[in-house]
Structure 1
Amino acid sequence: MTTFDNPATVPAPPAGRYSHVARIELGDRTMLVLSGQVAIDGEGRLVGEDDMRAQSAYVLDTIEKILAAHGATLGDVVNIRTFLTDMDRIGEYGEVRVPRFAGAPPTSTTVEVSRLFVPGALLEVEVTAIV
């Protein structure tokens, strides 16, 4: 069974165009597939303009809140996909991301894109977790 959710602990998706998370029940396990997250607040404003560290922290905080609403943590993440608008800034992202994942890091894909759906957004991150 699959259910879709938008936890009240994070800003709702713009105009209800998508869900933040799909929860897929797999017997005694649950898979959580999160939509890509960007650094926009509840009023739709960009957080941390031209600041990769600030945007990275905001995005990962949002992901943690979505996971927590479903009984999961970053430790349950098995895959992370990151879209950067400037691959030269991957080190700044890594400074924020790496300390948040204790133990074996999840599988990962990082690609550079020409732009994201929010003007000024420097990255978008989506994850899959198993709990």
Structure 2
Amino acid sequence: MKVTLDNPASAPQPLSPYYSQVARVEQADGSALLFVSGQIAEGATLAEQSRGVFETLDALLRAHGGSLADVVNIRTYLTDISRLGEYGAVRREFLTGTPPTSMTFEVPRLFRPEAQIEVEVVAALPAG
């Protein structure tokens, strides 16, 4: 098993030097698991922030040969759980296949005070 930590140049860079955005875990059969750090995005509304988050997640996955279609687990942190429907509508725009496993949490605040949402994912890439 080989583990690579990465901040792909083709994706938005991390907001802090204290973490890597992607951990790629190579499996013996040539497949890989991608663990993507929580992402936030700029925007005035929850929908704008959600779209930005999924665009960044997609860029990070694509930098490693994957896509949002490869997501098998998603964890969402919202500062207002009553707005879950707004987030869900945007999420369905980006995750169009069979839904991945999922957990959603309400939190009092996130890394940046203006952030309303943070999302992290795990993706499974086939061999090849």
The TM-score bracket by the shorter chain reads over 0.9
User: Which residue identity does 1:11 align to in structure 2?
Assistant: P
Please give the alpha-carbon distance, in whole angstroms, between the structure 2 residues aligned to 1:119 and 1:74.
Answer: 27
**Moved beyond 4 Å, runs of 4+:** none
Shift of 1:89: 0.8
Structure 1 unpaired stretches of 5+: 40-46
Task: Give 2:95's aligned residue.
Answer: 101
2:24 counterpart of 1:30: no
Task: Give 1:87's aligned residue.
Answer: 81
User: Which residue identity does 1:20 align to in structure 2?
Assistant: Q
CA spacing shift, 1:71–1:87, aligned 2, 3 Å: same
Task: Give 1:13's aligned residue.
Answer: 14
TM-score (norm 2): 0.92
Shift of 1:91: 0.7
Please give the alpha-carbon distance, in whole angstroms, between the structure 1 residues aligned to 2:71 and 2:116.
Answer: 22
TM-score (norm 1): 0.90
Counting matched residue pairs gives: 123
